[in-house]
Amino acid sequence: MWQVSVRSLCRASCRAWQRRLPGPGPAPAAPRSRSPAWSPGTAPAQGLSSMAPSVRLSPAARSLFDEPLAIAVQGLGPRQQVTLRTSLRDETGELFQASARYQAGDDGQLDLARCPALPGGSFCGLEPMGLLWALQPQKPFWRLVKRDVQSPFLLELEVLEGHGERPGRLLAQAQHERAFLRDGVRRVPVREGRIRATLFLPPGNGPFPGIIDLYGTGGGLPEYRACLLANHGFAVLALAFYSYEDLPKGMKEFHLEYFEEAVNYMLQHTQVKGPGIGLLGHSKGGDLCISMASFLKGITATALINGSVANVGAVLRYKDITIPPLGINPKRIKVGKSGIADIIDVLNNPLEGPDQQSLIPLEKAECCFLFIVGQDDHNWKSEFFAVEGSKRLQAHGKEKPEIVCYPGAGHYIEPPFFPMCAASMHLLFGKPVMWGGEPKAHCEAQIDAWQQIQAFFRKHLTGKPSGTSSKL
């Protein structure tokens, strides 16, 4: 019953989102200085007449990456069969593509918000955003990330004739920019003391509710989630903690004093609303957030995306306290015929024997917790960690955390419309590993989780009530 409830709530949220999807506006006239084949937002194929098929997008030329994009085609023949294909290249030049088969209506119109995709493509059924969330890399084990948030991704959409295995004649095409920085959001590199970070501030004078954002074992300084979150009114510090500039190159041990500097930086910033801040962490970033909340002052709310309540992967030190990493057993790695490793059973049980020393004393935290859980996470047992964290908090008289579970969602629960990454290289294991997830369910989870995270932080950092209902 529990899983059914979660699934129905997630689907209800996504249906509500589909009702909010804007209808494609009228096709704007192409600028004279551009070839009609590459006009932003809408274009017939080059050389065709003005009555040729054309693509209508809303917004027409540019949208934020976490916002829906309405797609329609006009000028087709009655009940004409076409294939729609999207393409996107990341900043390394790697190509991501998705395609779907459609049939126009009797009036020659095709609106993806009303017309279901037919079997035979990357997805089928009524999926207005399927051509974005179903994008898959042509290079195996490659994940879509955004390295420079100041430039958009360029999405190309083609309308091809027929449903053949090989692409048919090009009927129309369009380009659209998927941006990360909303107009007016300020990006501020931070190099104060030991801190290596980027602060994103919403437009206006503030102060704004403040959040520190941590990613996982990939290292570096990913900014795209922090940037997208700042678009919604939060002051967000994307914080690097290893493998960036002069920070340690490897993940051997972490000193919580470094993270304490970042917390104090946010608490003292004139644009950050007090008295406390929020923490958002995914994977290894999740257990670091729990450690910060457990030992540091000034934390009001902590949200974890597939995080652990045990310290994982590196020794953690704070003053005279040392927490060893949870033990692993590489013999429990399962490698299939594809060569992809399943590492879900590699970690030891933190409730048994000496591995209990790796448990983070989250009962010391003076904040509220939100656990976002992908129930098909194959990196580790996220649901187990969330449930054990809840038990431990309640056993010590603390408030029960919010736990939102998503059936069919894998490890990399990203902001909305990032395509699901089923498998990629794991830096610690040195081989491709499966992350889990089913594309459609994972997409729905990302849409809902993004709303849950924002509502959680608004409630606890600003005192405004939550506007969502998918909380268990």
| R_g of the chain, CA atoms, integer Å | 23
Give the whole-angstrom CA distance, residue 463 versus residue 273: 12
Give the whole-angstrom CA distance, residue 330 versus residue 325: 15
Q: Are 93 and 3 in contact (CB under 8 A)?
A: no
Q: Is the pLDDT of residue 4 over 80?
A: no
pLDDT at position 46 is: 47
Q: Which of 13, 63, 87, 283 is an active site residue?
A: 283
Give the whole-angstrom CA distance, residue 133 versus residue 453: 20
Give the whole-angstrom CA distance, residue 345 versus residue 406: 20
Residue 5 known to be catalytic: no
- Tell me whether residue 395 is exposed, middle or buried, using C-beta atoms within 10 angstroms of its C-beta: 0 to 12, 13 to 18, 19 or more: exposed
Tens-digit pLDDT profile for residues 188-230: 999 999 999 999 999 998 899 999 999 998 899 999 999 999 9
Residue 263's H or E segment, with its range, is helix 256-268
Q: Is the pLDDT of residue 45 over 60?
A: no
Sign, CA dihedral 140-141-144-147, equals negative
* One-letter identity of residue 115: C
Q: Which of 111, 287, 376, 377 is an active site residue?
A: 377
Give the whole-angstrom CA distance, residue 253 versus residue 250: 8
Tokens 């859980």 belong to residue = 373
Q: Is the pLDDT of residue 468 over 60?
A: no
Q: Is the pLDDT of residue 40 over 70?
A: no
Look over the chain and give the mean of its residue pLDDT values, rounded to a whole number. Answer: 90
Tokens 């934390």 belong to residue = 299
Residue 396 known to be catalytic: no
Residue 151 known to be catalytic: no
pLDDT at position 301 is: 98
Tokens encoding 70? 């309405």
With cut-offs at 50, 70 and 90, classify the pLDDT of residue 33.
Answer: very low
pLDDT at position 146 is: 97
Tens-digit pLDDT profile for residues 249-265: 999 999 999 999 999 99
Among the residue ranges 44-48, 103-107, 136-140, the one predicted with the least confidence is 44-48
Q: Is the pLDDT of residue 12 over 70?
A: no
Q: Which residues in 28-57 are b (16+ Cβ under 10 Å) and which e?
A: eebeeeeebbebbbbbbbeebeeebbbbbb
Q: Which of 282, 411, 426, 442 is an active site residue?
A: 411
Q: How far is CA 25 from CA 231, 254, 467, 469, in A?
A: 24, 52, 29, 31
pLDDT at position 193 is: 96
Mean pLDDT, range 299-327, rounded to an integer? 98
Q: What are the start-end ranges of the H helices in 36-149?
A: 130-133
Q: Is the pLDDT of residue 364 over 50?
A: yes
Q: Is the pLDDT of residue 169 over 50?
A: yes
**pTM of the prediction?**
0.89
Mean pLDDT, range 57-74, rounded to an integer? 98
> How is the beta sheet containing 334-335 ordered, strand by strand?
334-335, 341-342, 431-434, 423-426
Mean pLDDT, range 414-419, rounded to an integer? 98
Residue 382's H or E segment, with its range, is helix 382-395
Among the residue ranges 90-94, 108-112, 387-391, 468-472, the one predicted with the least confidence is 468-472
Tens-digit pLDDT profile for residues 171-197: 999 999 999 999 999 999 999 999 999
**Which distant-in-sequence residues (6+ apart) come within 8 Å of 123 by Cβ?**
98, 100, 117, 130, 134, 439, 440
Mean pLDDT, range 60-66, rounded to an integer? 97
Mean pLDDT, range 102-121, rounded to an integer? 97
Sign, CA dihedral 462-467-468-471, equals positive
Give the distance from CA 15 to its chain's centroid. 19
- Asked if residue 59 has a cis previous peptide bond (ω within 30° of 0), the answer is yes
Q: Are 112 and 83 in contact (CB under 8 A)?
A: no
